[in-house]
Amino acid sequence: MTHALTRAPEHGARTGPPRGRPPGRFRRLFARTAGRRSLVLAMLVAAFAMSVATLLPSGVASAEGERIVGTLQTSVSGPIPDVEVTVTTASGDEVDSATTDENGRFAIDLPDGAGDYTVSIDGDALPDGVTLGPQGDTRDVTVDNGRSQPVNFGLQDGTANSGGGNVRAIQLLVDGLRFGLIIAVCAVGLSLIFGTTGLTNFAHGELVTIGAIVAWYVNVQGGVPLIAATLIAMVVGAGVGALHELALWRPLRKRGTGLVAALVVSIGLSLLLRYLLQIIYGGFSNPYAEYQSQRAQSYGVFTLTNRALASIVIALVVLVLVALMLQKTKIGKAMRAVSDNRDLAASSGIDVNRVILIVWMMGGALAALGGVLLGLSDQVQWDMGFRLLLLMFAGVTLGGLGTAYGALVGSVIIGVFVQMSTLVIPDDVKYVGGLLLLIVILVIRPQGILGSRARIG
């Protein structure tokens, strides 16, 4: 029987090539064994890294106790320093107070641990033109065990609803364009990985977080300028992407692992990396050392900070370069060929494994860049990539699965729609609008905006 040649040798059988068996088949059996050893080695390295991380003094978020954090700023005034923030218990006993720093940030430790607290600010210390939101100068919050609870006071600077609804709509359109471009930078790699391997990678959000956290450590702890720190983070992101491919996904493909099983593995990898990042980085929200204390510049009917404008320009330049690479370069054409039909590409002389490795490296580098751009506006958090993952999937699916240009178009549409939906729905549920748009468009055009009705391979 032909399948008998693939059986594992019985216990006690000789380990050399069996008599009459072609040497090439033995080499393939040895390669599969080596692949399993590589996978086990990668798992041991990950377990060792987790063990070392737990010993780091600043690693465990809960080790620093519960606290309340926040930032006072508006688009016009920028960060607001020297404002007193007071925390009291639910019964009215004062816990502690703090004054916002030059970046408008405050952090108050909670010696009594988790529970219900009231946070208040001194409204009289706000600068001219800045007023309290409709909820006033107090917030009631519930702090969980080991958590750093953020508080947002929703300060107003007169730009909201000023000059009529059209001005606000234009402001949200510009903010949505910036947000959509950041999603697109992160999602292009996710789309290329799906196109070349068929893998729905739930761990892609952690590549975004890794890039933001690496840049934060290099910038804040190492004192390196943020631009250089971003380049270092992109190199690290490319290395992590290559490690994912070489240590995990390539051995699994050689073993013939199905796509559903690979999807489950990616979910487990996502959980592993996410909480490993929480152990190493902590559960807090931190800004970069540069480009934080900026006032918004007026451009007529909308305002933008310089870092937001730089994020738009950088994202556009990077996406244009990716598009040119896919269209004009040899490796870009190989990526598109593998995405269309992997077997046909291999028979044409294309090294499919090399192309997939480059796709993983490029996807990791782009995800790291997107993480840094997102950290500039939302600060660096241990789960920031996971919170962006659903919108990345929405953008990729909306634009057309497996197409880089579809990921770009879909992500921009999702980002704009999410921001503009706050004209009619509360800001807290704005992500729901993007998912509803995804459902509506897929009902009308199931293959997505730029997807093909029938894909070969």
Longest dimension (CA), the chain: 90
The predicted model scores a pTM of 0.70
Across the range 69-74, mean pLDDT stands at 82
Which whole number is the average pLDDT over 17-25?
Answer: 45
Residue 91's pLDDT is 83
For the chain, percent helix, then strand, then coil, each to nearest 5? 60, 10, 30
Task: Encode pLDDT of 113-133 as tens digits.
Answer: 888 899 999 888 888 778 887
User: What pLDDT, on a 0 to 100 scale, did the predictor assign at position 254?
Assistant: 93
Q: In degrees, to the nearest 5, what angle opens at C-alpha 176 toward C-alphas 172 and 181?
A: 155
The mean per-residue pLDDT over the stretch 406-420 comes to 90
Question: Cβ(206)–Cβ(274) under 8 Å?
Answer: yes
Question: How confident is residue 49, by pLDDT bands cut at 50, 70 and 90?
Answer: very low
> 227 pLDDT exceeds 70?
yes
What domains can you pick out in the chain, each with its CATH number? 3-36+50-151 (2.60.40.10), 165-456 (1.10.3470)
Long-range contacts of 293-301 (CB under 8 A, 24+ apart): 293/78, 293/79, 293/102, 293/103, 294/78, 295/76, 295/77, 295/78, 296/75, 296/76, 296/78, 301/163, 301/166, 301/167, 301/170, 301/171
Phi/psi of residue 106, nearest 5 degrees: -145, 155
Say how far apart CA 174 and CA 298 lie, in whole Å: 13
The answer to whether residues 237 and 207 touch, using CB atoms and an 8 Å cutoff, is: yes
Reduced to 3 states, what is the DSSP secondary structure of residue 446? coil
Is residue 251 within 8 A of residue 36, CB to CB? The reply is yes
Residue 385 in this model has a pLDDT that exceeds 50 = yes
> 289 is written with which tokens?
């050392």
